[in-house]
């Protein structure tokens, strides 16, 4: 295999500690990867570092990303510049995770969150700016009163991006089916209320389902779906949803298996993918050395798989599984253990 190149953007606040922990394990696995490492967010020079990061991303196979609170600006390029439209967020319970559910064993599904549109385009402004549009409310049966002081936000759902992410979800369900999963896609949005935008999302996913007769299909309104991830998560396989619901519900999903420290993610486009934890930069535990690196490590596991290092990816994953199955003091504090980030990392390496 040709030498792979990976950009490392350690991110901001406490996130870099998780990225360096994941890199330590990859180092121990002796994977043939050239890493191009960028500074942490505090040392990021706006404009200059950003430009260099974009060039490095373009010359790489993937990026391992620590979360940002705004200092590491390359995230926008990774998303929109590289059109990474499918944000894949697995929700998989491993023995030893500190789940609040009575029976978390067997929870193993994937949220596919549309990553590029919906309410995330920064299209907000004063209500009065909408006056020339004379917008008519279907609910109020009247024009929108733009004389009120207030703000608006625009939600955009396009046919192309919805079809793209829908196909991705069905392809993923097809691949998972070969690995023993049920082969089912669940679509969720607020299609009863937002009939045009979320309605279009639902309709296009349903249309895509017709091309995958071997994959089961179901759809739920998002409030009903929120209950299902708590009450019947074992029934889920692959779930596809618009951006905002995916952002919110994947944090909730992480909570059901034991918390944010455990939830990985990968953002995939047609020719690029980058990997980062679901959690943010955990500024409240900055400098304490106790952040749980599992989410970033599992994101690195996904990255190794994406790059074709299947055996190494599996070894890394199994080592994490073993540390949790053994439990006890080697786990980090959020999971009921006594280990700091460094001790947990050593335990994973010892289990490779």
Q: Can you give the binding site for ligand ATP, defined by CB under 6 A?
A: 67, 260-261, 279-285, 291-292, 295, 334
* Number of neighbours of residue 5 by Cβ within 10 angstroms: 15
Q: Among residues 205 and 282, whose Cβ is nearest to ligand ATP? A: 282
Q: Among residues 215 and 263, whose Cβ is nearest to ligand ATP? A: 263
CB 168 within 8 Å of CB 268: yes
Minimum distance of ligand ATP from residue 1's CB (angstroms): 31
- Per DSSP, the chain holds a count of helices (H) and strands (E) of 10, 14
| Alpha-carbon span 288 to 119, nearest angstrom | 35
Minimum distance of ligand ATP from residue 313's CB (angstroms): 20
With CB atoms as reference, the residue minimizing the distance to ligand ATP is: 280
Q: What single string gives the DSSP state of each residue in 282-298?
A: -GGGTTSS----HHHHH
Q: Among residues 183 and 255, whose Cβ is nearest to ligand ATP? A: 255
CB 96 within 8 Å of CB 324: yes
User: Which of 13, 61, 72 lies closest to 38 in space, CA to CA?
Assistant: 72
| Alpha-carbon span 114 to 295, nearest angstrom | 20
Q: How far is it between the farthest Cα atoms of the chain?
A: 67
| Alpha-carbon span 263 to 277, nearest angstrom | 6
Minimum distance of ligand ATP from residue 277's CB (angstroms): 6
Residue 232's φ and ψ, nearest 5 degrees, are: -140, 55
| Alpha-carbon span 160 to 133, nearest angstrom | 25
Q: Among residues 112 and 291, whose Cβ is nearest to ligand ATP? A: 291
Q: Among residues 289 and 328, whose Cβ is nearest to ligand ATP? A: 289
Minimum distance of ligand ATP from residue 279's CB (angstroms): 3
Minimum distance of ligand ATP from residue 23's CB (angstroms): 16
Minimum distance of ligand ATP from residue 64's CB (angstroms): 15
Q: Among residues 104 and 255, whose Cβ is nearest to ligand ATP? A: 255
């Amino acid at each position: 295999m040709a030498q792979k190149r990976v950009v490392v953007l350690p991110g901001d606040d406490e996130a870099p500690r998780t990225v360096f922990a994941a890199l330590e394990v990859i180092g121990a696995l002796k994977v043939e990867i050239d890493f191009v490492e960028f500074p942490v967010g505090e040392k990021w020079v706006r404009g200059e570092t950003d430009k260099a990061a974009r060039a490095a991303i373009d010359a790489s196979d993937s990026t391992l990303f620590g979360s940002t609170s705004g200092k590491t600006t390359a995230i926008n390029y990774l998303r929109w510049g590289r059109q990474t439209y499918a944000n894949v967020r697995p929700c998989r319970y491993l023995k030893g995770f500190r789940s609040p559910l009575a029976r978390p064993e067997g929870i193993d599904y994937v949220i596919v969150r549309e990553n590029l549109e919906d309410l995330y385009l920064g299209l907000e402004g004063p209500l009065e700016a909408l006056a020339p549009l004379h917008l008519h409310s279907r609910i109020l049966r009247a024009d929108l009163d733009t004389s009120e002081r207030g703000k608006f936000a625009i939600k955009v759902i396009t046919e192309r991006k919805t079809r793209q992410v829908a196909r991705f979800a069905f392809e993923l369900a097809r691949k998972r089916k070969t690995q023993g999963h049920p082969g089912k896609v669940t679509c969720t949005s607020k299609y009863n209320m937002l009939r045009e935008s979320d309605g279009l999302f639902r309709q296009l996913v349903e249309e895509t389902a017709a091309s995958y007769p071997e994959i089961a299909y179901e759809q739920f309104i998002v409030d009903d779906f929120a209950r299902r991830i708590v009450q019947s998560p074992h029934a889920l396989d692959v779930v596809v949803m618009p951006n905002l619901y995916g952002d919110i519900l994947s944090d909730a999903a992480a909570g059901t298996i034991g918390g944010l420290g455990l939830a990985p993610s990968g953002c995939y486009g047609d020719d690029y993918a980058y990997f980062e934890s679901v959690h943010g930069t955990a500024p409240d535990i900055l400098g304490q050395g106790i952040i749980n690196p599992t989410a970033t490590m599992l994101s690195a596991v996904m990255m190794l798989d994406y790059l074709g290092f299947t055996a190494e990816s599996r070894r890394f994953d199994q080592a994490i599984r073993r540390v949790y199955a053994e439990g006890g003091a080697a786990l980090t504090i959020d999971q009921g253990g006594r280990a700091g980030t460094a001790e947990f990392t050593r335990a994973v390496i010892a289990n490779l």
